[in-house]
Amino acid sequence: MSKKTPSNQQWGGRFSEATDEFVQRFTASVNFDQRLYAHDIKGSIAHATMLAKVGVLTDTERDQIITGLTQIAGEIESGEFQWQIELEDVHMNIEARLTQLIGITGKKLHTGRSRNDQVATDIRLFLRDEIDAIDLELVRLQTGLLDLAEREAETIMPGFTHLQTAQPVTFGHHLLAWFEMLKRDRSRLLDCRKRLNQSPLGAAALAGTSYPIDRAYSAELLGFSQATENSLDSVSDRDFAIEFCAFASLLMTHLSRASEELVIWTSAQFDFIELPDRFCTGSSIMPQKKNPDVPELVRGKSGRVNGHLIALLTLMKSQPLAYNKDNQEDKEPLFDAVDTVKDCLRAFADMVPAITAKKASMLAAAKRGFATATDLADYLVRKGVAFRDAHEIVGRSVAYGIAQQKDLAELSLAELQQFSSHIEEDVFAILTLEGSVALRDHWGGTAPKQVRQAIARARASLGE
């Protein structure tokens, strides 16, 4: 039978027997929520400052509390702080230590608040800081992409649909497609930050408090745009965590797609790019191997983050108002999603600028798949041939090229004229890969001129 341990002195007055030792371990969160300590202390300092402003605490009591909390922060950062599982969570551990340091004044800190609004405030403060850090890494990755795209604005490669050669594009244009994905991701991230930047502090357990608190002042002290409107929703809402994980899942999906292309491009069968050795590993048995482990691992971690999103959605789907113990399960998925996103962005932001394009391999690949077939069809349409007829003519031309083992640009004028008398000498200007990409000279097109203009607009959007 499990042992019984003394009741928690912060709330044990109602109870006639001690908490079961297993239940104590099962319900405790201090092993993972202690990472909120800085945000918990920040919120407590703001709360004490507000309580003094409205006359619930004296200025002396406020100063004692702030001094004590500052000392506790130092103890935690130096590793001296003794976390106690019987105190359940980060909030009670800090409050108990504060009372040890400054006596009964420490017990006054919890006036006008509950752990419910306290933890809701802590998580918002934590996630706001993490979003700011993630945004810096996201912008660093976007900047690296733009730098690489600018270097490769004229590098020709095959564009694919169904992983089959479709039309020639520039490598710079392809990289800008990744940039657009990340641009949408960043917009979602910043939108999430706007919505979470409201203060639940003062909502107390669920109904507010009878003390004359000033929630707007607390919100201002903590850098929130305003206080939340409804006390019930304030303590039970975890939309911001779900919204962040939704952002994270989409971002990781985009990084996974890019990772897949990097893995393919580094293979001997494609040989489009070279990744620096520092982002790869070798084989324990095959000495020739250079494995693209970083993009492979990022690709794999996308499933982990997707799982956290589903976990949080499932966590919240059946909860009645207001706070429930279920919400303790919000932290570990959120924390891991944050850490995973930051690590993956850092890996990509370090790796992308160091990618080396193998221009000759890309060009050779673009020549192998009749990538200018659509250009020939468009050429015939401009000569007055109906598109469906042009499509058939080009199809027969491609079949002939396959039989002759020649690309369209390698066929002679006489050979091409077998299929249509509308084909003239000027056709070769559009059958070359360079001519094909140059023709896509419009907003969003792959022409090098358009790629450079798009890069300039992208840099402006980042505030460079």
DSSP assignment of 336-391, as one string?
Answer: HHHHHHHHHHHHHHHHGGG-EE-HHHHHHHHHHTTTTHHHHHHHHHHTT--HHHHH
- Alpha helices by DSSP H, listed for 237-276, are 239-266
Residue 180 has pLDDT above 50, yes or no: yes
Average pLDDT over residues 79-102: 97
Please state whether 435 falls in left (phi above 0), alpha (psi between -120 and 50) or beta: alpha
How many alpha carbons fall within 13 Å on the CB side of residue 160? 12
Q: Indicate if the pLDDT at residue 365 is higher than 50.
A: yes
What phi, psi does 84 have (nearest 5°)? -120, 120
Distance CA 134, CA 272 (A): 30
In percent, the amount of the chain with pLDDT more than 90 equals 87
Q: What's the CA gap between 393 and 403, in Å, rounded?
A: 16
Cα separations (Å) of 65 from 24, 44, 82, 114, 456?
A: 28, 9, 19, 17, 52
Each as own residue / partner, the long-range contacts of residues 312-321 (CB below 8 Å, 24 or more positions apart, any chain) are 312/238, 312/241, 312/242, 312/245, 313/242, 315/238, 316/238, 316/242, 319/236, 321/206, 321/232, 321/233, 321/236
The per-residue pLDDT for 353 is 95
Report phi then psi at 2, rounded to 5. Answer: -65, 150
Residue type at 30 in one-letter notation = V
Report the mean per-residue pLDDT for the chain.
Answer: 94
CB 263 within 8 A of CB 295: yes
The mean per-residue pLDDT over the stretch 83-95 comes to: 96
The pLDDT of residue 1 is 42
Distance CA 366, CA 409 (A): 12
Average pLDDT value for residue range 337-366: 97
Model pTM above 0.85 = yes
Question: How high is the pLDDT of residue 283?
Answer: 74
Report residue 6's pLDDT band, with 50, 70 and 90 as the boundaries: very low
Peptide bond into 28 cis (omega under 30): no
Q: Mind listing the pLDDT tens digit for each residue in 148-164?
A: 999 999 999 999 999 99
CA 274 to CA 317: how far, in whole Å?
Answer: 46
Please tell me which residue, 370 or 337, carries the higher pLDDT value. 337
The reply to whether domains 116-363 and 366-461 share a CATH topology is no
Assigned fold of 116-363: Fumarase C; Chain A, domain 2 (1.20.200)
* Segment 109-140, tens digit of pLDDT: 999 999 999 999 999 999 999 999 999 999 99
pLDDT exceeds cutoff 80 at 16: no
Helices in 79-214 by DSSP H: which ranges?
90-102, 104-107, 115-151, 171-196
Question: What is the topology classification, in CATH, of domain 366-461?
Answer: Ribonucleotide Reductase Protein R1; domain 1 (1.10.40)
Tallying the residues shown for the chain, one arrives at: 464
φ, ψ at 17 (rounded to 5°) = -140, 160
Number of H helices, E strands in the chain: 20, 8
DSSP state for residue 423 in the 8-state scheme: -
Interval 10-36 mean pLDDT: 80
Q: What is the rounded distance in angstroms from the CA atom of residue 464 to the CA atom of residue 457?
A: 10
Question: What whole-number distance in Å separates Cα of residue 39 and Cα of residue 448?
Answer: 48
Catalytic residue, chosen from 2, 187, 225, 283, is 283
Token pair recorded at residue 57: 């605490």
Q: Which two tokens stand for residue 286?
A: 């095959």
CA distances from 94 to 101, 182, 205, 359 (A): 11, 39, 19, 59
Q: Specify whether 110 is catalytic.
A: no
Task: Decide if pLDDT at 188 tops 60.
Answer: yes
In whole angstroms, give the CA distance from residue 265 to residue 281.
16
pLDDT band at 19 (very low <50, low <70, confident <90, very high): confident
Q: Specify whether the CB–CB gap between 408 and 372 falls below 8 A.
A: yes
pLDDT at residue 5 tops 70: no
Q: Please check whether residue 422 is in contact with residue 383, taking contact to mean a CB–CB distance below 8 angstroms.
A: yes
Query: Domain 18-111, what fold?
Result: Fumarase C; Chain B, domain 1 (1.10.275)
Residue whose token pair is 């006596």: 103
The three-state secondary structure class of 16 is coil
7 is catalytic: no
Q: What is the pLDDT of residue 290?
A: 87
The answer, yes or no, to whether residue 26 has pLDDT greater than 60, is yes
430-463, pLDDT tens digit by residue?
Answer: 899 999 999 999 999 999 999 999 999 999 999 8
pLDDT digits (tens, 9 = 90+) for 277-288: 998 887 777 867
Percentage of residues in the chain with pLDDT exceeding 70?
96
What whole-number distance in Å separates Cα of residue 220 and Cα of residue 238? 21
Q: Which residues neighbour 107 within 8 Å (Cβ) at sequence distance 6 or greater?
A: 95, 99
Domain ranges within the chain, ordered by starting residue? 18-111, 116-363, 366-461
What per-residue confidence (pLDDT) applies to 282? 79
Catalytic site residue from 16, 162, 210, 421: 162
Q: What is the pLDDT of residue 10?
A: 58
Q: Quick one: DSSP state of residue 281?
A: B
